[in-house]
A and B are shown apart, each in its own frame.
Chain A
Amino acid sequence: MSHIPFIIPDVFSVGVASGKIIRFGTVLKDASSGQIIAHLQETGLGQKLLSGASTVPFSPLGAINLASSTYTNIQITQLKSMVSSLTMMNFATLGATLTGLGVSIVGFILIKKKLDALEKQIFDIKNQLDRNFKDIFEREIRTHYSSIQTLLNELQIAHTLRNPTNILMSISSRLAEESGYFKGELNYILEQEKFDKNIFQNFLQAMTTCNSVRLECFLLANELDTANASARQSGQELSFFSNKLEPNILTERTFGSNWKSGNVSSVVYRAKQQEMKNFVSGLRDATEVAETKPFLIDTLIKNDINGRDYIQSLQDERDRPLLILWHSRFPCIRTDSD
């Protein structure tokens, strides 16, 4: 039984629908006073459902295939409930899933699967690249992906340790290096004349995955101040890309020299523009979510909630994909399951 004072999102449905409560990122705030009321947090169940639903966090929420045969009837019901909650909270894209709603509690096995998919995807993309870039891929990308996988293996073992703090801190530091590598590559992509959305998206997912796991490490080690600083840094990193990317410029750079005809009214051009708009919108949703994580961690600190307990309670949740944590200044109400 969890002692974390979670409540269910439905409590806020009327307030959000009427506009009295505004959601920004994972924060729910009072529209008139501007005060933070509560924090949205996905559970392990929610993360599993969404990771199975889509690997592309930049598509609209409606893109989730609720009729997919990969789900059992129970999972479909749960997924429907999650989609309904996300819709109620005015999410338009799956962008928030890029960083996880609230702190990441995805579990390392699931992250490994996600990374495998990313690695496979990037090697599919490489066939479209020129020879020089292919060589870089062969030599470097594989090394980095395998390094992250190794770190995740170590983390699984760290879970079994009685006092895993040191190893968690060490792994998080190495994950920071991996995240830094992908961040560097993302910057490099932006400097190129031609923009490749697929590669950018893939590296962005790799970077945010490293950052999410880092944050989880800090929470598991109950180093909440460090977790807070790390969450802020991750938010700033995403914010940099979010500010810099502009759908119009990305569209022009996707077409490259072909666009020089200046036919900005063509159907093909407009379609690409819309695609880039969705992409940037998803990224901005993800940025909002990342930037509001420090507010959640701050609440954990103020309420003296142990980071490891917090993660454990979210992983243990079997029925609800999304939960809500009151902000520190509000009274705690327990759910039926508590």
Chain B
Amino acid sequence: MIKIDDLQIRRKILDWRDEQVVHIEHHIGREIDLLLREIDKSIDNISAKELLYSQDFSDNIIKPIYEQWLENETNILLKDANQSLQIIHRTFLSWQKTETKFKPDNPQLWSTTDVVSIMAAGGSVAAGIYLRGLAITTVSGTGILGWLGLGATTMVSWPIIAVGAITIAGSILLGGNQLINLRTSVAERYKEMVHKAIREELILNANKPSLIQILQSDIRKTSDKIIQSLGEI
């Protein structure tokens, strides 16, 4: 006979999955504006000389801002997902008081110690975090991005300004308004390029999964794993 508790848990997990998937999209969609604003501020202060060496500027100024933002936001999102999953787990544990509800032949998903086996079995990172019973903030070393394997996948190919070194160099010599106008227009173009590159990396990328897609995929894998552990319903 079907276990009614299994049906209830599955519904909760499905709702959790949908909620988190939407939350990730909304959160990144909202917070990306703050990131871009902060980067814009840096670009507003860029000197004409730095425009000549935009690669250095992006490596030394923009990249650290981006990476810090990425780490913070990923941290927040996984913490949110983890917390709401733990609420479901606690509900389930309260039902367990009277009866053993989880299948004894497949207990690993709910174990708080056997993280290695679930990870080895292809379990998602979010599940791993959940199973560890760890607060996400305790992840150390390479940080959450390294732990999630997001470091390489969300690496932005920073755009390089190609306005022509001679043009800029000439303008530096001329100085005055001409230089200011050129610097402003190039900086605006540079902002647009950076915005586009970041949006592609975080929201939608034609060639590889974006940050949103990577995180959503983790949520889905976690949900699938838990539902599978409930057995055939």
Contacts and interface: CB of A to CB of B under 8 A. Distances in A.
Contact of A262 (B17, B97, B203, B216): B203
A248 B227 contact: no
SS class of chain B's interface: helix, strand, loop or mixed?
helix
Nearest to B28: A264
Contact of B18 (A24, A280, A298): A280
B30 interface: yes
Contacts of B17: 246
B147 to A, nearest CB: 25
Interface residues of A, number: 31
B25 A32 contact: no
A277 interface: yes
Contact of A265 (B30, B99, B227): B30
A195 B14 CA distance: 20
A294 interface: yes
Contact of B7 (A32, A34, A292): A292
A39 B6 CA distance: 18
Interface in B14-37: 14-15, 17-18, 21-22, 25-26, 29-30
Interface string A257-275: 0001010110000000100
Given A232-B2, A295-B4, A265 B26 contact: yes
B135 to A, nearest CB: 27
Contacts of B203: 262, 264
A247 interface: yes
A292 B4 contact: yes
Contact of B4 (A24, A260, A264): A24
Contacts of A295: 4
A204 to B, nearest CB: 17
Given A260-B204, A264-B29, A291-B2, A34 B95 contact: yes
Contact of A246 (B5, B10, B18): B18
Contacts of B101: 34
Contacts of A265: 26, 29-30
Given A34-B98, A239-B233, A277 B18 contact: yes
B183 interface: no
Nearest to B22: A248
Contacts of B227: 243
Nearest to B24: A248
- Nearest first, the 10 closest Cβ-Cβ pairs linking A and B are A262-B204, A265-B29, A264-B29, A262-B203, A248-B21, A264-B25, A33-B98, A24-B8, A34-B98, A34-B95
Given A247-B18, A291-B233, 9 more contacts: A24-B7, A34-B98, A239-B233, A243-B227, A248-B21, A260-B204, A277-B18, A284-B15, A288-B7
Interface of B: 1-2, 4-5, 7-8, 10-11, 14-15, 17-18, 21-22, 25-26, 29-30, 95, 97-99, 101, 199, 203-204, 212, 216, 227, 233
Interface of A: 24-25, 27, 29, 32-34, 36, 232, 236, 239, 242-243, 246-248, 260, 262, 264-265, 273, 277, 280-281, 284, 288, 291-292, 294-295, 298
